[in-house]
Amino acid sequence: MKLKRSGAAVSLLAAGALLVSACGSDNNTNSAGGASTVDAKICAGKQKLAASGSSAQKNAMERFIANYEASCSGYTLDYNPTGSGQGVSDFLAGLTDFAGSDSPLNADKGEIEKAKARCGSDAWNLPTVFGPIAVAYNLPGVEGVAFDGPTLAKIFKGEITKWNDPAIAALNSGKNLPDKPIVVVFRSDESGTTDNFQKYLAAASDGAYTGKGKAFGGGVGEGADKSDGVKSAVSSTEGAISYMEWSFAKDLNVAKIVTSAGPDAVELSKESAAKAVDSVKIKGEGNDLVLDTSSFYKPTTAGAYPIMLATYEIVCSKYADANVAKAVKAFLTAAAAGDPGDGYVALPEAFKAKLEAAIAAIS
């Protein structure tokens, strides 16, 4: 498997998924933790693809690459989890064959037109990974702290600064909240995780939170680079709170979230995340599968976890090099068939069929 890394050291067990190194080995299925091979007839084209972007999907990508290599001996993908912003930039510059991004191409930034110029065709946003964003914190001896949207918005704006603030205490009757400062940790690099989290804060607080985009706009806290850096900062800082993909938060305290669907705080689980995914709608046209994620943030279904992201693979609908197109189709076919692993949500069957049809249409 070829998975490049930059910046902070990467924990290979962050999502409980083993990094498999035997490229092209028929044994990758078991060591990849449940990957399922696909028909080798899909294997064609460029033997070594390059992609970069979302660190949120890094752990799922490890499994997808293992599945691809198990299905297509001699083929591989170098994936560099640089963050969504850099991944899109690399793709637009023609440095990679596709990009991973937790946000679709942004028309206001001219990304759609730039992608069309780079591809010589329309680019498509294809969601392959769904995952919840965990609100993780470091407060020894205090588990299962609950927050609602307005309270989290005030924390990440710096308006609530102590763990025993009355607003937090009101949501956590009976818990011994300490008189300790809250240390906000945020992603210092441009990140689709930040974009999605800020969309949640804005929606759940009815616009009281105004930060938006891939750069953190709360105006408070300490920055850390990429998902691994955020996890490390929270782990080592008592009183810290941050947002990160669930696959990175497995050994941290994870908050429960009170939603618009009822008074009971929702615990983050595969079941509560799956309820959210089941309700998501597609707003893109044709094979451009851009999602309307607003349904995540203010759910109407009780027990649906509200802070979700979808990671897109941004591809050319028609590549100038037919060999690249064939290999991208093969890799994404293997990815769609694979198990993304712990910390992610399996694709609903109805959505999976739409994704497979879009992959098949790449030329």
Q: 123 and 257 share a domain?
A: no
Structural domain of residue 195, as residue ranges?
Answer: 133-275
Domain annotation covers residue 283 = no
Q: 101 and 161 share a domain?
A: no
Q: Report the CATH number at residue 230.
A: 3.40.190.10
Strands (E), the chain: 2-3, 48-53, 76-80, 98-101, 123-137, 146-148, 183-187, 222-224, 240-245, 253-254, 256-259, 262-266, 281-282, 291-292, 308-316
CA 186-189-192 angle, 5° bins? 80
Q: 271 and 171 share a domain?
A: yes
Residue type, 198: Q
Model pLDDT, residue 36? 61
3-class DSSP state for residue 345? strand
**Which residue, of 224, 256, 275, is where some domain finishes?**
275
Q: In this structure, what token pair is assigned to residue 240?
A: 């810290």
Domain annotation covers residue 53 = yes
Q: 144 and 127 share a domain?
A: no
CB atoms within 10 A of CB 27: 11
Q: In this structure, what token pair is assigned to residue 108?
A: 């206001």
Model pLDDT, residue 295? 84
Q: 55 and 103 share a domain?
A: yes
Q: 84 and 164 share a domain?
A: no
Phi and psi, residue 344, nearest 5°: -125, 170
Model pLDDT, residue 280? 83
Q: 271 and 160 share a domain?
A: yes
What separation, in Å, do the N-terminal and C-terminal C-alpha atoms of the chain show? Answer: 25
Q: 114 and 152 share a domain?
A: no
Question: How many domains does the chain divide into?
Answer: 2
Token pair 């806290």 in the structure block, residue? 221
Alpha-carbon dihedral sign for residues 104, 110, 115, 121: positive
Domain annotation covers residue 70 = yes
**Cβ(97)–Cβ(86) below 8 Å:** no
Model pLDDT, residue 3? 54
Domain annotation covers residue 266 = yes
**Which residue, of 275, 302, 324, is where some domain finishes?**
275
Model pLDDT, residue 199? 95
Model pLDDT, residue 345? 87
Domain annotation covers residue 354 = yes
Q: One digit per residue, pLDDT tens: the chain, 363 residues? A: 455 433 332 222 222 232 222 223 233 333 334 446 788 899 999 999 999 999 889 989 999 999 999 999 999 999 999 989 999 999 999 999 999 998 999 999 999 999 999 999 999 999 998 989 999 999 999 999 999 999 999 999 999 999 999 999 999 999 999 999 999 999 999 888 899 999 999 999 999 999 999 899 999 999 999 989 999 999 999 999 999 999 899 899 999 999 999 899 999 998 999 889 887 889 999 999 999 888 899 998 999 999 998 999 999 999 999 999 999 999 999 999 988 988 888 888 888 899 999 999 999
3-class DSSP state for residue 80? strand
Domain annotation covers residue 298 = no
Domain annotation covers residue 343 = yes
Residue 181 CA: distances (Å) to CA of 2, 88, 112, 141, 162:
42, 37, 43, 16, 5
Domain annotation covers residue 297 = no
Q: 250 and 335 share a domain?
A: no
Q: 127 and 182 share a domain?
A: no
Q: 185 and 200 share a domain?
A: yes
Q: 45 and 56 share a domain?
A: yes
**Which residue, of 215, 250, 275, is where some domain finishes?**
275
CB atoms within 10 A of CB 322: 13
Model pLDDT, residue 236? 98
Closest CA to 10 of 66, 80, 70, 100: 80
